[in-house]
Structure 1
Amino acid sequence: MNLDLELRKIIRELVSSNIPLFKACEEFKLKFIEEALAHYGGNIKETAKALGVHRNTISNILNKKISGEKGD
């Protein structure tokens, strides 16, 4: 898989859909964390270590998603 080509394809789709940069970044971050969590069996501590962030960062991002879903 050529990561650069895959990212460019996704970026073209987002740009043509008029998705704001902030929203695209937030979605990418959330999906990246969700995939990493799945890879590490839902273990937030291991996921955070692998991603080089504090576990609270992961928890805060996930809690923000959950609170956003409740507000919909």
Structure 2
Amino acid sequence: MFWCPFDAHGPGRHDLELHLRRRRSHEVGEVLAAPPQPPVVGYDGFVPQPCVLHPEQVAAHPFVGLLPEDLRTRIDA
């Protein structure tokens, strides 16, 4: 993600300008230990903080009205 850390450079003159780029993992060279920091920042809150995403499996269950009547009865019990 590329961004301008000032709120006056976006399309509405009061928005951040963000550019998202996609690349394949095999195209990535050496991974940086820390993200590069801009030399000047309009507001510290505009600089993203590194984070980690921990995906988890979620069981999706069908709407109870779509289940067979005997199964709905057992669930209600």
- TM norm structure 2: 0.21
Give the number of the structure whose alpha-carbon radius of gyration is greater: 2
Task: Give the number of the structure whose residues are more often helix, by fraction.
Answer: 1
- TM norm structure 1: 0.22
